[in-house]
Amino acid sequence: MTGPLAGLRVIEFAGIGPGPYACLLLAELGAEVIRVDRPSAGGLFDAEVLNRSRPTIAVDLKSPAGVETVLRLIEGADVVVEGLRPGVMERLGLGPEECLGRNPRLIYGRMTGWGQTGPLASAAGHDITYAALTGALHATGSADKPRNAVNLVADFGGGTLFLVMGILAAVFERGVSGRGQVVDAAMVDGAASLMTMVYGLQAAGLWQDRREANLLDGGAPFYDTYECADGKHVAVGALEHQFFAELMKHTGLSFEQWDVARWPEMRAALTEVFRSRTRDEWAAVFEGTDACVAPVLSLVEAPAHPHNVARGVFAPYRDGVAPRVAPVFSRTPALPPGEVHAAGQDTRTVLLAAGFGEAEVDALLEQGVVTQA
């Protein structure tokens, strides 16, 4: 094993979205992650790429023997990750009280949309609804309509990354106190935290509470995207004075950056200029400059960009490529993307490695408490 988290043992209860992505990150950073699936588990997507790089055990969690099997695994774990609605794990007999009772040093990570408490705790939702309650969705999109940024804001930004940060912070604290604790990671909390700078700018009178009226939301003509002659786009982010000067130099325009009254004229001029060449022609013009202009690449194009290739941002995976885990470590590199294991593919191997005897595993399989794919 390599990776900075080598030696960390994680039990993951299978779910969708931000929980599995958190466990992917932990696994490819070197942690030993075991996913607990239902015997009848089926994938939401054919690829199930978020389930890569870790073994899986299929357990009937409605069976007392199945619950006991998982609790025995938890006794030797550092972290548990679950992403079910509040109360579900408690009803299964696998809530924090039971798990920490068996392992007082356990970090119990909980991933939900609304959190474990509050009037919406048990309500259904998705990334777009969690972002809606934080102001993040209101601030994103065009002037006439808010629009979600895929599911990056709440699911993977406010959810996954804050869950991983919370788990690692709790592991660090355990090194001081010797005690485990529950990490209540809510996507609504994390998405709100991601908006810290915007809320600060608004409080200081530097952000208008409407879209396309501010520096970073398309309101400024020098921080926007523009269509080129081939229908593709470039991204312009010339915020600082020296970068704006480079933008003007290479487009042949002449505007004062902070003459706000002329911003509509500047936008119209930039629109016309960028439509005079193809995207890749403009990329060549701005190559090596500090104008902060970049081609907007498609999902097919991005992995082949020389910068991404040089840094190994993507790795070969199945019939295409997959993004590698970030960041980059100098001594303990992360693992490359691993394969997706079918639910229960590693049941026997995992149980034997955890100290279960051969006869004991055979009995659990015969009783249907666990299954082997």
With bands split at pLDDT 50, 70 and 90, how would you rate the model's confidence at 101? Answer: very high
The residue to which tokens 């022609």 are assigned:
281
Cα–Cα distance between 221 and 266 in angstroms, integer? 7
Q: Are residues 172 and 283 in the same domain?
A: no
Q: Are residues 228 and 363 in the same domain?
A: no
Whether residue 328 lies inside any domain: the answer is: no
**pLDDT tens string 75-100:** 999 999 999 999 999 999 999 999 99
128's CB contacts (< 8 A; 6+ apart) are 137, 148, 151, 154
The separation between CA 16 and the C-alpha centre of its own chain, rounded to angstroms, equals 12
Handedness of CA 130, 133, 134, 138 (dihedral sign): positive
**pLDDT tens string 35-67:** 999 987 655 444 489 999 999 999 999 999 999
Q: What is the average pLDDT score of the chain?
A: 96
Q: Are residues 133 and 66 in the same domain?
A: yes
- The values of phi and psi at residue 11, to 5°, are -110, 120
Q: Are residues 166 and 123 in the same domain?
A: yes
Q: Are residues 181 and 59 in the same domain?
A: yes
Which residue numbers are catalytic? 126, 155
Q: Are residues 228 and 99 in the same domain?
A: no
Cα–Cα distance between 334 and 5 in angstroms, integer? 9
Domain of 272 in residue numbering reads as 223-308
The pLDDT, as a whole number, for residue 41 is 61
CATH number at residue 53: 3.40.50.10540
Whether residue 319 lies inside any domain: the answer is: no
Whether residue 23 lies inside any domain: the answer is: yes
**pLDDT tens string 241-272:** 999 999 999 999 999 999 999 999 999 999 99
Please state, as a whole number, how many other Cβ atoms lie within 10 Å of the Cβ of residue 238: 22
pTM beyond cutoff 0.85: yes
The amino acid present at 56, given as its one-letter code, is: T
The pLDDT, as a whole number, for residue 42 is 56
Whether residue 326 lies inside any domain: the answer is: no
The pLDDT, as a whole number, for residue 63 is 97
Handedness of CA 137, 139, 142, 144 (dihedral sign): positive
In the chain, where do the E strands start and end? Answer: 9-13, 32-37, 56-59, 79-82, 107-112, 141-142, 145-146, 181-186, 223-227, 233-237, 293-295, 314-317, 320-323, 370-371
List the one residue out of 114, 106, 112 whose CA is nearest residue 76: 106
More confident call, 182 vs 39:
182
- Is the pLDDT at 372 greater than 90? The verdict is yes
CATH number at residue 296: 3.30.1540.10
List the one residue out of 8, 336, 324, 35 whose CA is nearest residue 167: 8
Whether residue 214 lies inside any domain: the answer is: no
Q: Are residues 142 and 239 in the same domain?
A: no
The pLDDT, as a whole number, for residue 45 is 46
Contact 140, 168 (CB under 8 A): no
The amino acid present at 25, given as its one-letter code, is: L
- Is the pLDDT at 325 greater than 90? The verdict is yes
**pLDDT tens string 104-139:** 999 999 999 999 999 999 999 999 999 999 999 999
Please identify, among 254, 286, 308, the residue that sits at the C-terminal boundary of a domain: 308
- Is the pLDDT at 239 greater than 70? The verdict is yes
Contact 192, 114 (CB under 8 A): no
Q: Are residues 128 and 248 in the same domain?
A: no
Q: Three-class SS of residue 268?
A: helix
Whether residue 334 lies inside any domain: the answer is: no
Q: Are residues 142 and 49 in the same domain?
A: yes
Q: Are residues 145 and 238 in the same domain?
A: no
The pLDDT, as a whole number, for residue 279 is 98
Please identify, among 308, 333, 356, the residue that sits at the C-terminal boundary of a domain: 308
List the one residue out of 102, 101, 108, 133 whose CA is nearest residue 184: 108
Contact 278, 228 (CB under 8 A): yes
Whether residue 347 lies inside any domain: the answer is: yes
List the one residue out of 131, 148, 301, 153 whose CA is nearest residue 233: 301
Q: Are residues 113 and 62 in the same domain?
A: yes
The residue to which tokens 């709790």 are assigned:
170
The amino acid present at 175, given as its one-letter code, is: G
Contact 222, 239 (CB under 8 A): yes
Whether residue 2 lies inside any domain: the answer is: no
Q: Are residues 112 and 254 in the same domain?
A: no
Number of folded domains in the chain? Answer: 2
Please give the structure tokens belonging to residue 44.
């939401």
Please give the structure tokens belonging to residue 27.
């696994």
With bands split at pLDDT 50, 70 and 90, how would you rate the model's confidence at 194? Answer: very high
With bands split at pLDDT 50, 70 and 90, how would you rate the model's confidence at 2? Answer: confident
The pLDDT, as a whole number, for residue 331 is 95
Please identify, among 261, 288, 308, the residue that sits at the C-terminal boundary of a domain: 308
**pLDDT tens string 328-364:** 999 999 999 999 999 999 999 999 999 999 999 999 9
What is the rounded radius of gyration, in angstroms, for the C-alpha atoms of the chain?
25
